[in-house]
Every structure is written in C-alpha cells, then in structure tokens.
A and B are shown apart, each in its own frame.
Chain A
C-alpha cells in the first residue's frame, strides 16, 4: 500500500479520534442516559491505535499491550451483550450494539496479533522508526512484508473485513432513517416527562453516532484488507 493510503487512514481515524475524544469529555463531565464510557473510550483508543499502526509507531511491547487492551474490551462487550447490557435497557438493540462492539474489538485484537502471520511484524523491530520523518515508506505496517502470509490467517482477516463492511452498511442504513422516527420511538420508552426529554436528546445523539460507527467500521475493514 502506498504511503498516501496511510495518510488517508490517518485522516479518517484522526477525525474519529477527535469525535470520540469530545464524546469522552462529555461523558466524563456528566453521563448521558444509556451511554457507556467503555464504548466511547474503546473507539478513541481504536482510532489512536489505527493511526499508530498505519505509521508503525510503537516499540516491541506495543503489540502485546494492544492485544491485552482490545482483548479486554472484547471480553467486556461480549459479557455485556450476553447479559443484555449494563445500562438501562435489556432490549434487542442493546444486545446488538454490544455484540457489534465485541466483534469490532475482536477484529482489532486480531489485526494486531495477526501481523506476523500476515507478513507484517513492525512491532518487533521498529522501535523509534516512526520518529524518523525523513525515512522511506518502508517502515509502514502495510509495506514492510517480512514473511509470506499464512493462508488461514488471510481467510480470517478477510472474514473480519467482510463482517465489518456489512456492519458499516447496517450503520449507514440506521443513520439514514428519518430522525423524527428515532426521536418518537425513544420518547415513547419513558413516561416521565423530563427523562423523556433526556432520552430524546440521547436518541438524536445516538442517531448522529451511527455515521461515526459506519466510518469506524469502513476504516477498520479497509485496514484489514490492506494487510492481506
């Protein structure tokens, strides 16, 4: 992959990083109903990790750190999906939401862990490489093939990419739904007036967030495909 694609990924995940940083700040300064800090934090960390991976930043310990962090998130989201979510609702949407995040985190964990299997092992020997701005593009994760990719690893990677691409389509469909319908549906969930207002506000926010979920999914699918 040419360096220009690394720039594209950096811009894409730079945008998502800024968005989710703002979301995290909003959540930490006062929780919104139904919002989960873990979800927003996971998105922020994923965005930053993607930029780092695109430019091969990170020392030898970075891979295992990322595998541990995203593996932990995957396990937490899986547990929440199984239990119907830790927040207000136990409906199907909540389960689907946590299931999606568990899959995304698993894909992220796989992406980091499977690099050597796919012929990219920049974490093993690239400490500080990314700081040499004048260097060639060889340091980038997608260029520096050091070994032949294993077939089964390629298959798993492609499967993750396809699943994420499908998720992206689903998010776009969700985001394209008329906003009024979303608001009415959310508002009818509660009878207490002021809570209804807060939930309505949250529903609009969530509606907007669908576009960002779609963007993240597309970016991740792109990164996975760029590795094979």
Chain B
C-alpha cells in the first residue's frame, strides 16, 4: 500500500495517516524538496476545517437564504414594487415632486424611473432617522402618482433582502460580525485548493479520473464519507473559489487591501466625475427644480443611446454634474454612465461598460454572480447547489473527524501529524502564509492561532513521546531525525 493510500485510509478507508511508514517520511524530510507538501496540506486542511468549519457553515446557510431573497422581496414588498398598469404615465418630474412632498426632510440622492409597465418609480432620500448606510425610498405609482409606500432601503435592497444581506455579511453584529464572514471567505479558497491537492495527488492505479470525480459508493465508513466530501468538493471547486474571491472584496480588512491593489493595478471600477469646470458651475438645483432636472437629463441620456433601467443621481455638492447610470446587473450587463451639466444639458463625461478594463468587468460579473443577479434563476439555482454542497462538505468533514477518534474515547489526532513534511515544503508554506497573511489579515491571524495551538499543545506531547529521557536507551527514534 502506498503512503498516500495509507494516509487517507486507503480504498477501504480503514487506515490512518498515523500508520505511515516513518522511514519514508524521514527520507522525504531529508530531501528538502516539495514532495513533503502533502502532510502539511493535510494538516492545514484539518485545522482550517475543524476551526473555520462553523463559520463556513453559517455563511453557507445564510447564503442559501440569500439566494431566494429576490423572490422573497418581490413577495413581501409586492405592494411597493408593482402597480396596476394604467393608460398614461404622469411626467417623471411630477413623480419626484410627489415623493419630495412625502419626505420633505430628506435630501434627494437617486431616482429610478419605472421601466416595466407594472413597476413603480423609486425616489431615494438621505434622511437622518435611518441607520448608517441606509436610506429611505418612496415608491410612486407612475400612472396615478399615488405613493405605494416608503421603505428603509440599503442600496437597492428593500428591507427583507437588506435584513438577509446583513445576516449573511455580519450576523447583525456590526463590524465585529464582519470578521466571521471574512474568516469564512479568507479560508474557503485555502480549504478548496488544499483539498484539491490532497485528493488529486493520491496514487491510483485504476480509473484515476473516475475515482477523483465520483464518490466511491462501494466503500464504507470514513472512506465513503471522504470520497463524497472530496468528489463534491471537486465539482464545487470553481464556484467556491469565486465565492471566496468576491466575498473578500466586501470584507473589512482584506477588502481594503483588495481595493488598494485594484487601484494600484488600475483595475478599479471606472466612475464619471461630477466635477464641472469653474466656468460651467451654477448654483445647483433647488428641491423644487430637481424633478424637472431629473426628467430633462434622463431625456438627454436616452438620446445619447442609454437604454434599459437607469438611476439618476444629483451631485453630492452643489454646482456639480448630475450622473445618469445604467443599473442592469443581469446579463447582458449594462453599466454605462454619463455626467451631465444640469445647466447646459451638455454631456461632460461618458463611460461605456464596453470600455471598462477587463479586470473591472470580471469583478462586476463576479460580484453579481455571487449575489445571484447575473444569470437570474439559473444563477440562483447554481448558488443553492453550492450552498448545499458546502453545508454537506462541512458536516461530512466533522463526521469524518468523529469517526477518526480513538476507540477508547477522546478526540482524533491531527490529520497529517503522523508524517513529516519536507523542509522545502515547510519553508514554501511558511513564506506563502506570511505573504498571504499580510494581504488577508484575518487569515494571517488565524494561521498564527493554528500555529500556536500546534506548537504549544502538540509539541510538548510529541517531545515526551519521541525523545529519550536521560539514561533511556530504548527510544532511539530520535537518531533517525535529520539535524539542521
């Protein structure tokens, strides 16, 4: 039986990595190359799985809930979102004016004209009585001018989706809660890639591809669970990497580094400037004029070729340009934007989605896929499958750990601790962990925690077990160890 088979319990799944031939592992350690990477990855996969598993599980469960949030939102907020189709729409300026009268204390931030025949116009305001990052949106019937409702919104999310979104991102625990999702996102790609290497480098003589990609249904016990865990992981790999990468862009600590990196590489999402030349600056538009301005600028943007759903945004400071931007996030993505001088109606800057840097496009598509927006229902089904796969893999992982426990009781030993990694492998992983840990701080800190756990808890036990006491000539295992 090969070392690899032995480590993972072999085809029957009854063995253990503790059974590995020590002479082979010691010889590998002496070589100093990367052939000893596998035990290290096993160990990393084990620690991350055991300690980060709960966070990944929570992210998967809340993510599963998030996948159905569009339908839930449409169901819960149907009254605000839809209207009976009428014969004639009233002007956009009038709709905005009605909304402003409903929220006189608010500052207009965005207008989204109704696009579908049965949809409402959304007029969004900054108001002092909402949570940070939240706004208040008035939903206006474009036919009758009736206000269908006023809701507290988070971006374009209505309360039900905003609540689920917050649950998925922070568990409603504020910035402290963001660490949970960052921990899950930081480790998901490590778990996925380490699992890939561990599973694919096993030596198999027969039906290699089949045994990598499909579960071993004839196996029993831990071997069967492991094959399901690994095969499902193989199929979900691409999706897991996507979720991890896009999830990190929203994270608290790594997200800041990602933003800096994107800016440094000029991969940032392009945005039109609302700055106007000094000569073109006017005093800005008053609240009463904003509706007229929004309607006029929408016409200009439509004339310039901007179709589909759009958001019209007044400048944050008086005297700046208004922005009209496409907001279609499902395929084909429409994100063109124009900055328009409200006084003259001149387009001062225009950015087409087609002209975005490829990295910015990929980021947009990646984020929209993560949110289940890019490909509609197909996207949602894919995310449901990914979430279920993750939930199963975490549960199977814990079940395998339970099955590895000593029969006399107690917890299972660390996977991969029975074989020695090579020096080159340790160095490679250490340098990688250092570099990645600086970029993804939550991952770096958790690696440090694993290292301390491994060093302070496991080493003393191992030293007692392996090293000879003074005068004890029976334990000679130490003689075979390489020196530095």
Contacts and interface: CB of A to CB of B under 8 A. Distances in A.
A202 B466 CA distance: 16
Given A26-B423, A190-B468, 15 more contacts: A21-B427, A25-B430, A28-B421, A29-B36, A29-B422, A29-B425, A31-B462, A86-B463, A88-B468, A88-B469, A192-B468, A192-B473, A194-B479, A195-B473, A197-B479
Given A29-B29, A29-B422, A37 B455 contact: yes
B327 to A, nearest CB: 31
Interface in A1-52: 21-34, 36-38, 41, 45, 48
A65 interface: yes
B377 interface: no
B479 A26 contact: no
A65 B26 contact: no
B452 A192 contact: no
A20 to B, nearest CB: 11
Contact of A33 (B36, B421, B423, B467): B467
A40 to B, nearest CB: 9
A69 B476 contact: no
A72 interface: yes
A28 B462 CA distance: 12
Nearest to A196: B479
Given A59-B253, A88-B467, A128-B256, A198 B430 contact: no
Pairs A-B, 8 closest by C-beta atoms: A26-B484, A25-B426, A194-B479, A29-B29, A29-B423, A192-B473, A86-B460, A30-B481
B467 A22 contact: no
A11 to B, nearest CB: 18
Interface in B466-484: 466-471, 473, 476, 478-479, 481-484
Q: Chain B's interface: helix, strand, loop or mixed, by majority?
A: helix
Given A30-B26, A31-B463, A192-B476, A198 B483 contact: yes
10 contacts: A22-B427, A23-B484, A25-B430, A29-B29, A29-B36, A31-B462, A36-B463, A45-B448, A72-B456, A191-B473
A154 interface: no
A30 B36 CA distance: 12
Contact of A27 (B253, B256, B484): B484
A205 interface: yes
B112 to A, nearest CB: 35
Contact of A87 (B451, B463, B476): B463
Interface of B: 26, 29-30, 32, 36, 253, 256, 260, 420-427, 430-431, 434, 441, 445, 448, 451-452, 455-456, 459-460, 462-464, 466-471, 473, 476, 478-479, 481-484
Contacts of B422: 29
Nearest to A58: B441
A201 B482 CA distance: 10
Interface string A196-228: 011001100100000000000000000000000
Contact of A76 (B456, B470, B473): B456
A131 interface: yes
A189 B467 CA distance: 14
A89 interface: yes
Contacts of A195: 468, 473, 476, 478-479
Contacts of B473: 191-192, 195
A38 B434 CA distance: 18
A41 B434 CA distance: 13
Contacts of A48: 434
Contacts of B460: 86
Given A41-B455, A198-B483, A65 B470 contact: no
Contacts of A23: 484
Given A21-B430, A41-B455, A30 B463 contact: no
Among A29, A45, A194: residue with most chain B CB under 10 A: A29
Nearest to B483: A201
B478 A29 contact: no
A24 B467 contact: no
Contacts of A128: 256, 260
Interface string A65-91: 100010010001000000000111100
B454 to A, nearest CB: 8
Contacts of B471: 191
Contacts of A22: 427, 484
A32 B26 CA distance: 12
Contacts of B467: 31, 33-34, 87-88
Contacts of B420: 28-30
Contacts of B260: 128, 131
Given A31-B462, A33-B478, A38-B459, A69 B452 contact: yes
A38 B456 contact: yes
Contacts of A87: 463, 467
Contact of A29 (B421, B434, B462): B421
Contact of B470 (A25, A26, A28, A190): A190
A117 to B, nearest CB: 25
Contacts of A191: 471, 473
A124 B431 CA distance: 28
B484 to A, nearest CB: 3
A48 B431 CA distance: 12
Contacts of B30: 30
Contacts of B463: 31, 36, 86-88
A32 B484 contact: yes
A33 B483 CA distance: 9
Contact of B482 (A30, A41, A88, A194): A30
A3 B479 CA distance: 48
B373 to A, nearest CB: 31
Contacts of A201: 483
Contact of A24 (B426, B466, B483): B426
Interface in A148-167: none
B80 to A, nearest CB: 40
A194 B427 contact: no
